[in-house]
Amino acid sequence: MQIPLLPDLTHPALTARLQHLIDQKTKPLGSLGKLESLALRLGQILGTEAPQLQAPQMLVCAGDHGLAARGVSAFPSDVTWQMVENFLAGGAAVSVLARQHGLALTVVDCGVAKGIAPRETTPGQPRLLLRKVAAGTQDASQGPAMSTAQCETAIQNGIDVVRSLPGNALLLGEMGIGNTSVASLLLARLCGLPITECTGAGTGLDAAGIARKCAVLQQALDANASATKPLAALAALGGFEVATLVGTVLQAAAERRVIVVDGFITSAAVLVASRLQPWVLQRCVFAHRSGERAHGLMLEQMQAEPLLDLGLRLGEGSGAALAWPLLQSACAILREMASFEAAGVSGQSAA
Ligand SMILES: O=C(O)c1ccc[n+]([C@@H]2O[C@H](COP(=O)([O-])O)[C@@H](O)[C@H]2O)c1
Ligand SMILES: Cc1cc2nc[nH]c2cc1C
């Protein structure tokens, strides 16, 4: 496995030109709020004053977790494969939203416990890729969830999947019963935070359930105490879908694609990727702040400002899909909105 190298995208001349263009549009300075910083970022990522999003790809990575047997989720592991089938059949939230917004949907079996049967690819329909490293991870409360080799294979799978996809925008989603535990563990380990601050309800645990989850997660941290570096932490505490996502983030960032990050779990993958290659964050748009308690904390650790705050806590890429029209609008504003000069509108404020 070779971690892709990323150049720094900071380009003061382009940034200044983009900011000037945005400021000269027919509107009071700053009045389009976060859409303005979004437009600036998209221009920087795509390296142009006239950004155009092409062939957007929604990638949903799925995997199962040995930890789930310890009662850390409100749902059983079988829901992972059942939802994969639902994604492919077109009935899940992400299926509906991807259809609505014209996002090509690819579901990747990164390590679902049950065998997912291959199927024919029909153009315009959700696609299945089988990249299963193993049938679920080991129980991280007893030792490493993955071997180093398994973790590297999953990262490489993510790199290869992105290489095979067209377009210049990648929207990230995931599915895996137990994977809020993975995200909490990675946040605690990589940011040095107490597990109680990093742990929440996931699919719907009550207060007593969260307390039990915290106790199990503390055991996982203790059982993997020496795994402190990003890759070691990912192997010891992570999941196959999270490691695959790390690979997709690294590759998409290296190719200068726009990366639209969904919720708590996809953000955890970005956190790991950014510890391997800090410039990754320049290529990311954080779609929303999840209702999962520690997501705000995780975003703060990356100094990330999410676009939406709708109380979503579904995952699947649903928040990324919902934010997509904002990215399209930001590009259209940059490309099509008139300047004061072109429209003959007086650009001087009276004050
Ligand atoms: O994306 C989020 O912020 C998010 C927050 C809570 C739950 N989820 C989804 O719920 C599943 C994990 O929850 P849990 O309780 O099984 O750890 C997994 O399939 C995620 O897609 C996702
Ligand atoms: C039903 C269900 C759907 C999901 N989608 C993403 N995570 C999920 C978890 C559950 C339980």
Does the domain at residues 12-52+332-343 carry the CATH identifier 1.10.1610.10? Answer: yes
ipTM of model:
0.99
Q: Is residue 152 in contact with ligand 1, taking CB distance under 6 Å? A: no
Contact partners, residue 22, CB within 8 Å, separation at least 6 = 32, 36, 39, 40, 333, 334
The confidence score (pLDDT) of residue 250 equals 98
CATH architecture of the domain covering 57-326: 3-Layer(aba) Sandwich (3.40)
Per the CB < 8 A criterion, the answer to whether 295 and 4 are in contact is no
- Please state the atom number of ligand 1 nearest to the C-alpha of residue 74: 15
Q: Are the folds of 12-52+332-343 and 57-326 the same?
A: no
Active-site annotation holds for 316: yes
Choosing from 305, 316, 336, 341, the catalytic residue is: 316
Centroid of ligand 2 to alpha carbon of 313 (angstroms): 9
- Please state the atom number of ligand 1 nearest to the C-alpha of residue 204: 15
The Cα–Cα gap between 116 and 257 comes to 29
Domain ranges across the chain: 12-52+332-343, 57-326
The confidence score (pLDDT) of residue 65 equals 98
Per-residue pLDDT of the chain (351 residues; tens, 9 = 90+): 888 888 888 899 999 999 999 999 999 999 999 999 999 999 999 999 999 999 999 999 999 999 999 999 999 999 999 999 999 999 999 999 999 999 999 999 999 999 999 999 999 999 999 999 999 999 999 999 999 999 999 999 999 999 999 999 999 999 999 999 999 999 999 999 999 999 999 999 999 999 999 999 999 999 999 999 999 999 999 999 999 999 999 999 999 999 999 999 999 999 999 999 999 999 999 999 999 999 999 999 999 999 999 999 999 999 999 999 999 999 999 999 999 999 999 987 776
Q: Is residue 84 in contact with ligand 1, taking CB distance under 6 Å? A: no
Buried b / exposed e over 264-278, threshold 16 CB at 10 Å, is bbbbbbbbbbbbbbe
Closest CA to 191 of 298, 285, 109, 101: 298
Query: Tokens 């100094």 — which residue?
Result: 303
